[in-house]
Structure 1
Amino acid sequence: MYLYEQKIVVIYRGEKMVSEEAKSARALGQAQGRTVSRYLNALDQSKPKRGRQRSPERMQARIAELPGEIAQAKPLKRVHLIQELMDLETELAKEEESVDISGIESEFIAIAAEYSGRKGISYAAWREVGVPASVLKAAGVARTRSTD
């Protein structure tokens, strides 16, 4: 019987047997990775877009106007108006399905320090991808990283 990787994999009679400790560590790492991924995706989706922002009320008002304009428009103008209508409906749907980041953020705060330490992710790296300083502070991620 040989021990490899700090008692994680045990080879016995040619078969690999993973210890329960290793299985639970792997499951924890995967769960934390999913939490970090969900939080970063939510941050990315909630970033303000460049340019002038349209309010949902203005989009709905324009959607209400367009069918009348489409009915009276010449064919080339009609296709442009139809595309505008489709774009507005898509944009409005995206606005309505906006992500509630607070719940995901609290999950991230609970695991960020441990995940950062295990994966070697610095405060600066988190800030570079858009994680707010207040979130990192709440999570206990230090501004400087030791080089142990």
Structure 2
Amino acid sequence: MADTSVRKKREISDDQKEALSVGRDQSRIVRRYLEAISESKPRPGRKRTEESIRSQLASIDARLADANPLNRLHFIQLKMDLELELSQLQTKMDLAPLERAFIEVAAEYSSRKGVSKHAWREVGVPAEVLKRAGISDSSSGYRKAGHSEDID
């Protein structure tokens, strides 16, 4: 015989809803900070200056007039890339507010998710930021936090 009973919808308590909300907020703060430090990381090679980019743009403008259609296409794309790079150089991201928010939630997030200091360092979080967040070498790792399964 098939079970024809109707399953009751599981009720979530207000405490559970609050815990889920806090977890989502912490994850959002951590993700934004990690994305910001990843984007602001210096790239390999010689650092480009506004002056060198402007010089390249002037050179491209001079060469565009005499360029054949195929070269013109590539010069226009290069010019667009350089203009984007120049605008990014001029608008530096202010990490301070993201860092402050990260410091407020990092220790609890680490404990809840089992993230060790070493893991934070591997993704680029500065040691000083971790220290201010209260994350030490003895902070728990994934398995210490009670997680026995592998991460999918």
TM-score bracket for this pair, using the shorter chain length: 0.7 to 0.9
Q: Is residue 89 of structure 1 aligned with residue 89 of structure 2?
A: no
The size of the alignment, in residue pairs, is 136
Choose between structure 1 and 2 for higher RCO, CA contacts under 8 A separated by at least 6 residues: 2
Question: Deviation per CA, 1:24-67, whole angstroms, max 9, x where unpaired?
Answer: 11100000000000000001100101111211232123223322
Where structure 1 has 5 or more consecutive residues not aligned to the other structure, the ranges are 1-12
The 5 Å alignment of 1:11-26 reads 14-26=8-20
Determine what percentage of the aligned residue pairs are the same residue. Answer: 46
Q: Give the Cα separation in 2 of the matches to 1:101 and 1:145.
A: 24
Q: Give the Cα separation in 2 of the matches to 1:70 and 1:20.
A: 64
- Is the deviation greater in 122-131 or in 83-92? 83-92
How far off its partner does 1:15 sit? 3.2
Question: Deviation per CA, 1:57-108, whole angstroms, max 9, x where unpaired?
Answer: 3212322332222112344543443232122112223334442111100100
- Normalising by structure 2, we get a TM-score of 0.79
RMSD: 2.0
2:49 to 27, 41, 55: 55
Q: Is residue 119 of structure 1 aligned with residue 113 of structure 2?
A: yes
2:65 to 43, 54, 71: 71
For residues 75 and 117 of structure 1, do their structure 2 counterparts lie closer, same or farther at Cα, with a shift above 3 Å needed? Answer: same
Q: Is residue 133 of structure 1 aligned with residue 127 of structure 2?
A: yes
Q: What SS is found at the alignment partner of 2:36? A: helix
Q: Give the Cα separation in 1 of the matches to 2:48 and 2:123.
A: 26
Q: What residue in structure 1 maps to residue 150 of structure 2?
A: none
2:36 to 38, 42, 45: 42
Where structure 2 has 5 or more consecutive residues not aligned to the other structure, the ranges are 1-6, 146-152
